Amino acid sequence: MTDLQGKIALVTGASRGVGRGIAHELGAAGATVYVTGRSVAAAATTEGLRGDVNGTAALVTQSGGIGIAVRCDHTRDGEVEALFERIRREHGRLDILVNNVWGGYERFGDADFVAAFWEQPMWRWELMFDAGVRAHYTASRLAAPLMIPHKRGLIVNISSGDEGKYRGQLMYDVAKAAVDRMALGMAHELRQYGIAAVSLYPGFTRTERVERFASADELAGTESPRYAGRAVVALAADPAVMERSGGVYKTGALARDYDFTDADGTQPPPFTF
């Protein structure tokens, strides 16, 4: 087992899905993990998807780490600032930031997600960029001062893509490309402080939303949310992670590089469109 005892991590948007899986694996590696989201006990999304920050924090603790639930809307700067002030007050540093929060799938059924760009509602742009790109930037700019004095740290932007191919929906494509470019820019500016920044592409993942809407055939080719979590743990434990800073990595490719498997013992290949 990879040992991240003593490490302080933050996973944004960790009520469910990939964020929950990442927090779970960081906990299994022994880290103290702050988990954020808007959902609290007994709350659900508009689609009825269950999961909340309290449940994820409990899972982290049960797995061997220390889970700390924080209700936070990452589109509200004051709430995000209070979150980082709490981390500073309680620990004085942050070792790992996983920018996972993503609002782009909210109101999924209110308008055709893959409609042509000229037919897309502008509220969808706001969801993808305010609760996605901007949220990642806001968290990263507040995390950096907690890492810089210690000359170490890791920032992981959860993104999606496949070797520069068009992602199939214009708003989505632009948002994810921006997230990747952000990691590149942060890597450039943080390199002198020994802080790495990367983008991570999970594959087709069995999140609560996917399990609700995907067919049985589609689910057969999925990976669990913990697979991405194991990729984050491997990166965080790698003493040579600075060599990867600024890059974009698929979970399946990192599994081969670092020799880890999904929770069921399989090693799903890198995802391709």
Domains of the chain: residue spans and CATH? 8-258 (3.40.50.720)
Q: HEC string of 195-212?
A: EEEEEEECCCECCHHHHH
Residue 207 pLDDT > 80, yes or no? no
Report pLDDT digits (tens) over 72-119. Answer: 999 999 999 999 999 999 999 999 999 999 999 888 889 999 999 999
Q: How far apart (Å, rounded) are the C-alpha atoms in residues 174 and 11?
A: 23
Q: Which pLDDT band holds residue 46 (cuts at 50, 70, 90)?
A: low
Q: How far apart (Å, rounded) are the C-alpha atoms in residues 25 and 119?
A: 40
Q: How far apart (Å, rounded) are the C-alpha atoms in residues 95 and 172?
A: 29
Q: What is the mean pLDDT of the chain?
A: 93
Where in the sequence numbering do the catalytic residues fall? 172
Beta-carbon contacts of 185 under 8 Å, excluding residues fewer than 6 positions away, are none
Across 42-53, average pLDDT? 71
Per-residue confidence (pLDDT) for residue 213, from 0 to 100: 67
Per-residue confidence (pLDDT) for residue 244, from 0 to 100: 98
Per-residue confidence (pLDDT) for residue 2, from 0 to 100: 74
Strands (E), 21-95: 32-37, 66-71
pTM, two decimals, is 0.95
